Amino acid sequence: MDAHARMQRSLLGVSLGDAFGERFFGHQGQAVQQMVADRTLPAAPWPVTDDTMLALGVVDCLTEDGTIEPRRLQARLHARYRWDTHRGYGYGMHKLFGDIEAGRDGMQAAAEMFGGTGSMGNGSAMRVAPLGAFFADDPVRCAEEAARSAMATHQHAEGVAGAVATAVTTAMLWCLRDEEDPSDAIFEAVLAACGPGEVREGLDKAAGLSRTIDAPIAALHLGSGQRILAQDTVPYCVWVALQHRSSLEEALWQTVSGLGDRDTTCAIVGGMLAASVPESTIPREWLAFRAGPDLPDL
């Protein structure tokens, strides 16, 4: 696949994971674990959320420009938001886009969020996998472009690191897709790309976790988005993706079993893996269940 085809396949994975994971909200933890054990699919349709809408904005930017300029990306994300504000956007996005619509400079507004720290939420990570797939032939540039993509909305160092880790994992999964066990090499590349902080610490912890434990146990060690922050979301997603890199279907079942911010964790894992897994492991029935605009298909 060329860069654009990889990007579209990753976007497919984001939308599939997002739509799948979102349908597990409203169920208690024990009920979700039983659904996972029985492989009980949620009832259709499966509407996509802000995870997919924001990823579409990244794809819009790369399709038109071939690179990320934060202000232009912010404008594309805002355009997707204005088209449909009822997709589960979080407080930070409503605040940022509201400030823009009130006439404030968008980049300044992003810098001043959360008392001037900028956002460290997991939104920069949940949309960025298609960028990682697009720049998979150049992991160094991939990290640079991912960092710029985060700056459009998430200017805290942890928000930037979450985007970089997600994109680089996606790129390395593609580059090493024919390797028997690339996990150590991928963790090494991702850790090297991330600056110091809690995201990097979580990734280092994930790299040391046993490969025989189940995803819910990994979630207890790493978090699975309960705080909706990059640092308690991205390390778990990287761990799950690397342990279940041969099947998108199995990876999504494992991801959702960790509960937490399950539409976002599934969107991230789906986006990381979709370009590199065998196409036969992407369930066509699930794709038909998705509901939303501009969704790619196989």
Span 29-57, pLDDT tens digits: 888 889 999 999 999 999 999 999 999 99
Question: Which residues are CB-contacts of 57 (< 8 A; sequence separation ≥ 6)?
Answer: 73, 76, 77, 79, 80, 127
Name the fold adopted by 3-291: ADP-ribosylglycohydrolase fold (1.10.4080)
Share of the chain above pLDDT 90, in %: 96
Task: Please state, in angstroms and rounded to a whole number, the distance separating the CA atoms of residues 122 and 179.
Answer: 29
Q: Is 290 helix (H, G, I), strand (E, B) or coil?
A: strand
Average pLDDT of the chain to the nearest whole number: 97
Give CB contacts under 8 A, 24+ apart, made by 171-174: 171/132, 171/133, 171/135, 171/136, 171/139, 171/142, 172/136, 172/139, 173/241, 173/242, 173/245, 173/272, 173/273, 173/275, 173/276, 174/6, 174/133, 174/136, 174/275, 174/276
User: Could you give the angle at which helices 234-243 and 157-175 cross, rounded to 10 degrees?
Assistant: 10
Query: Where residue 26 falls among pLDDT bands split at 50, 70, 90?
Result: confident
The pTM of this model reads 0.98
Determine if the peptide bond prior to 216 is cis (ω within 30°): no
Residues in the chain: 298
Question: Which residues are CB-contacts of 195 (< 8 A; sequence separation ≥ 6)?
Answer: 157, 160, 161
The number of beta carbons lying within 10 Å of the beta carbon of residue 95 is 16
Task: Please state, in angstroms and rounded to a whole number, the distance separating the CA atoms of residues 54 and 125.
Answer: 10
For residue 83, pLDDT beyond 90:
no
What is the reported pLDDT for 276?
A: 98
Average pLDDT over residues 255-276: 98
What is the reported pLDDT for 29?
A: 83
For residue 296, pLDDT beyond 90:
yes
Partners of 47 in beta bridges: 291
| H/E element, 47 | strand 46-47
Q: Are 211 and 241 in contact (CB under 8 A)?
A: no
Torsion of CA 81, 241, 285, 8, to 10 degrees: 50
Task: Please state, in angstroms and rounded to a whole number, the distance separating the CA atoms of residues 249 and 270.
Answer: 9
β-strand 46-47 against 290-291: which pairing, if any? parallel
DSSP 296: -
Average pLDDT over residues 211-236: 97
